[in-house]
Amino acid sequence: MSSSDFSLRAVFGGIQATLLAVFLVTAFPTSAVSYIIAQLLVAVGTLVVFLTLSR
């Protein structure tokens, strides 16, 4: 597995985490837990993408 293959996978993982966060908030708009999980997912996804691109 090359490093560019890994970075592509990480970027897609970050995008998937963000999409999952959006889905959670849309599916459970009244739940405070879904907002917390969504923010965590977005933060982790952004961090993974940032760390991968900064290498």
SS3 sequence, 19-50? HHHHHHHHHCCCCHHHHHHHHHHHHHHHHHHH
Q: What is the pTM of this model?
A: 0.55
Number of domains in the chain: 1
Backbone angles phi, psi at 3, to 5 degrees: -70, -35
User: Which distant-in-sequence residues (6+ apart) come within 8 Å of 20 by Cβ?
Assistant: 41
The pLDDT, as a whole number, for residue 34 is: 77
Find the domain containing 44 and state its range. 3-54
**Alpha-carbon distances, residue 48 vs 5, 6, 18, 43 (angstroms):** 14, 11, 12, 9
What whole-number distance in Å separates Cα of residue 14 and Cα of residue 48?
6
> Which pLDDT tens digits describe the chain residue by residue (55 residues)?
567 777 788 788 878 888 888 888 888 777 788 788 888 888 888 888 788 777 7
The pLDDT, as a whole number, for residue 2 is: 65
The pLDDT, as a whole number, for residue 35 is: 81
